[in-house]
Amino acid sequence: MIERATGKIVWQLGSPPLAQQHDPRPLDNGNLLIFDNGTHRRDHPGTFSRVIEVDPRTNTIVWQYADQSLFEFFSPYISNAQRLANGNTLICEGVTAAEIEAAHSA
C-alpha cells in the first residue's frame, strides 16, 4: 500500500506467500482480498492459483479459496475476486472464463 500524499510504501506482502498477485481489494473489515495467480511460487513446487484474504496488521491469511486439486484452478493472468454483499466471494478465472462463488466464513 502506498500513502498517496508522500508516495511512501506503508505496507507490502511479497513472495512467499504470494506468487504474481494482482488487484488487491480492500474489504470493509480492513483486510485485503487478493487473487494470487501462482506462477512463480518459491514455497511450493507446483503452479496453482488461489484467492486469499489477508489481515494487513498481522500479514496472516485469514481465509482462502484454492481447488482441492491444485492444478484444476490455475489462471496466470486476467483474473479477479470480489467479496459480495451476501458474504460470498465471486472469483473470475480469466484464462478459462470460469466463475466460482465461494462461501466465506471467517
Q: Is residue 49 part of a domain?
A: yes
Q: Is residue 16 part of a domain?
A: no
Q: Is residue 65 part of a domain?
A: yes
Total of domains in the chain: 1
* Contact between 77 and 37 (Cβ < 8 Å): yes
Find the domain containing 58 and state its range. 21-102
pLDDT in tens, 33-43: 999 877 777 77
Q: Is residue 11 part of a domain?
A: no
pLDDT along the chain (106 residues), means of 10: 90 79 88 86 79 94 86 78 92 69 60
Contacts of 105 (CB under 8 A, 6+ apart): 63, 87
Q: Is residue 78 part of a domain?
A: yes
pLDDT in tens, 45-64: 777 788 999 999 999 999 99
